Amino acid sequence: MKKNKTLIQDLVSKAGSLQNQINAWKAEHGEIFSFKVGKDKQCYLKKPTRQILSYAAVAAQTDPLQYNEVILSECWLAGDEDIKTDTGLFLSISQYLPTLVEMVEVEMVKL
């Protein structure tokens, strides 16, 4: 947790507050997501672009875990680096990465 607190404190000191940093990210990237992983790990991710999704899909053709690796690394804004490097933490957040892209209901009508 100490490492994560230091990172968050650095962000706060540079932006004036964590909310200011989040607002700056939103202005630059649109939607921003905060993930709490385990008891004391946290990270901030942006919504993936089509290019990121395409890159992840290509990477997944040779290694299915690469999809999550690409999404996590390309959407990463800040957080505890252990989430990227610790297998258990990585697998824990991996199940939530698909929720970064909201799917809406589609209706098809044959004309």
Task: Note the pLDDT of residue 13.
Answer: 65
Q: What is the pTM of this model?
A: 0.81
At residue 87, does pLDDT exceed 90?
yes
Matching residue, tokens 């990585």: 90
pLDDT confidence band for 18 (50 / 70 / 90): confident
Helix 2-15 vs helix 18-29: crossing angle, to nearest 10: 70
pLDDT per position as a tens digit, 34-83: 999 999 999 999 999 999 999 999 999 999 899 999 999 999 999 999 99
Got the DSSP string for 64-78?
THHHHHHHHHHHEEE
Task: Note the pLDDT of residue 4.
Answer: 52
Report the distance separating Cα 25 and Cα 27, nearest Å: 5
Residue 32 DSSP SS3: strand
CATH class of the structural domain 4-100: alpha beta
